[in-house]
Structure formats: C-alpha cells, structure tokens
Structure 1
C-alpha cells in the first residue's frame, strides 16, 4: 500500500510536469496561429505603429506605477489595455511578474491559478522575444513556486535551466543584469532540489514503515485470534476429557453398586435355602 502511495505521488508529480511542458507547447502553437489575425487587427487600426506604441508605453507606465504601489491586479488591468494598442514582450513579462507577486501573497493551495497565468504570460512574452531576460527569470521563479506547490523537484530542474539560459542570453547580449543574483537562484534551486528529493525519500520510508507496521499488526491480530481459537478448542477438549473421565467413574460406581446388589441377592437366596 505504501509503495503504491509513493508511486502515485511520483506519478502525480510527473503528470503535473508533463502538463506544464504541454502548456508551453500549446501556447507557442496558439501564438503562431493567432499571429496573422493580430497582424490584420493592427493593419486595420487607424493609428500608425509608432502612435500605438507610444500609447501602449504611456499606459504601461501607469501599470508600472501601480505595481510599485503593490496594486498588482490594477497594474494587470493597465497592462492589458496597453496590449490592445500594441503587443509587447515586455508588457507580457510585466503581467507575468504581477501574477507571480499575487501568487506569493496567497497560501500555496490557492496560488496555483496565479502561477498558471504567470506561465501563460511568460510564454506569450517569450514567443514575441525568446531572449527577454526578465520573462526567462520569471519562468524560473514560477517553476520554483510550482515545485513547492506540486512537491516535485522536476520543476526545480526547469528553474535551473531557465536561470542558466538567462545567464547565457545576458552574456551574449551583454545586458547589464546582476548575474551574481541569478547564480544565487541557481544555488538555492539545487539546494531546494536536494531537500525535496530527501523529503520524498523520507516520505517513502515512512510510508513503507507504516505499511510494514500494518502488516505486522494484522498478522499479530490473526495470530492472537488463532491462539484464542486454540485455547477455546483446548478448553473444549479438556472439558470433553473431564466428562469422559466422569462417565467412566460413574460407570465404575454403577458397576460396583450392581455388584454389591448381586452379591446381596445371592447371599439372600443362599440363606433362604439353608433355612
């Protein structure tokens, strides 16, 4: 039973990770399919591309202000309005960052929806700019959260891959970003992976111990029942033996009495004849 439970926990983790990877693939496919439609909408827009970008930038700035105030839901609203004017990898990564912040403020059992939205926004951001370092790092941070939520170290491996990718992009583009901080994230992710893997081993050992204890308890109960049944059976046998001995003694007594009666009768007949 315990091994099956451990296996089911492991299978659930693998399924969650596969779902995570499938979500990313689905988003990329959806983005490619919608690209032409987006282009048509932009072509139909009466404003020039530059005008739309300026409008989007202005609204994005308002969203940034709300983000700094900690009003993440309101910031998302501004970013979504900005996207209607002009799609931007940066705006999508800003939305992802908001969802991650909201997830961090919620209990783990309530944060999954926000983490899913964070992944979706990051995927959209990276589909527009695969080298958006902010989106790559946020994907790593989100993977860390998912690892805690799903208790699955596979997400930590994903996080490490994203952080390493961020460093490579940073070095290639010579982007001014704190590589030391990213390396700290990688080190922490490795430590967290070791901790989760160790906890999983401990959980499996405890489940195995519980299983063996249950088997021993069941066997002990069965043995005690067998002993009880044996004792009852033994008592019946002893009682039967006692009754058999009693019947033998009674029969002997009866035989003795009958013998005495016969002797007395014989003596009486002999006496009468003599008289």
Structure 2
C-alpha cells in the first residue's frame, strides 16, 4: 500500500511497517491505550505524522532504536520520546551531524535501558541494550505479538556497520550480542525480527535473494565477531564508503552474517 512517499505493509493486527523513499523502515505498534512509533526514517522537508495518523488515532509515543539521522529525523513531531541515554556519549559533532540541521533535544527524551518497559496498555514493549553500532543501540520486543524491532543493532540482512564514527569496538559488541542472545532465548527465542532497513534483507552480498533477520543469523553474527576478535577471521578491504571512517573498512562474513569494521577498532 502506497501512502504519499511511503510504502506501508500490514504486519499483523495493529502493527505496520513503513518504508520511506530512502529505504529506511519505521514501525507503528498499537496498544490498547497508546500506539508506539518505532524510529522515524528520514524524509527531508516532509513529515511522517500524516501517514502515521492514517494508521492509528491513539496517543503516540516515539521509541528510537539509536541516534542516527535515518532513525530519529522526525523526532520533533512527537512529545513523548524514549531513547537510551548512552547515545549522549557520542561526540557532539557526530550527534549534530545526525540532526541534519534540526535542533533535536536528545537530553529531553525519557531514558531507557535493559529492563525498561514502554506500556501501551495491554501491550508492552520490553527493551534490551545492544551497544555496538552506537553506544546506546536498543531493540524493542512486543511481548504480546512476539515481534522484535532491531533498528541497526544486528543489521537488516545486509550486514552490520561497525566502521561508522561512534561505533563500539568489536570486543564490546561481541559481549552485547551474547547478552542479546541470552535475553531473547529467555523470552522463547521464537520472535519475528524486523530491522531498520527491511529492504536490505534482499541486498545481501553473501546470500542471494533473501536473507532475513533471525535467531540463526544472530548466532552466525556472534561467531563472526568472535572470529574477528580472536584473529581466526580476517576481513578483506571493503567497498563501503570511506567517508564513514578515517581508514579503509574491512569486510568479513560467516554463515549468513556480514560485518564492516575498522582494523584499529577491534579491542576495547
């Protein structure tokens, strides 16, 4: 279903995926009393609320997976906003760059961490921190529907970017992934994953056709990061945009998982 510049996909009762023109995905999750918008995509010069309001009329909260431009650009359209405040550790120049000329007050958001819950009424979003892509990356689990919204924490089937400014060392990311796996298994481990760029599950350079996020891909990612940290896996020079970092990035893969990283940023 096309709404203005957005492609809207019905996921299930009260849950929608919205893909913007820049291939960023954000989500609407209705509860009994409120609806959560998870991330915002980026539509320069436009707004997302008119599209969201065609899907739900309930009071809105915004839940941001991480403080990158394509996930928080429309934060100023919302009043009740949740963000992990570990993101405030990012250098101010990086945060300003990701505001794309807007004045977004990240400190005025409500801080969340592992164990936090956003109450939508009967439905709730549980939160787990996954520092790696950014210091304050989080995932949101809709317990009643068993849906996991991951932002860029584990990629979107195309691979994880750890070569970006402000990313955590791979050694830290490895422990984040182990904690995430444990957290998911404790909740049954059968949830459906929804990433921050859903179209990228069809863009993997490793798996032709379709490479969806899953617990299996997460397991491969753990082995991949462990291999790079231990030295048993060594990446090759990546085709990733060198503007993203001060040195050429390396690309490595294992199973269905892919990773971009900097050789100088492996250890904490």
Greater share of residues in strand: 2
Please indicate, yes or no, whether the TM-score normalized by the shorter chain is above 0.5: no
Greater share of residues in helix: 1
Scaled by the length of structure 2, the TM-score of the pair is 0.30
Q: Work out which of the two has the higher radius of gyration on C-alpha atoms and give 1 or 2.
A: 1
Scaled by the length of structure 1, the TM-score of the pair is 0.29
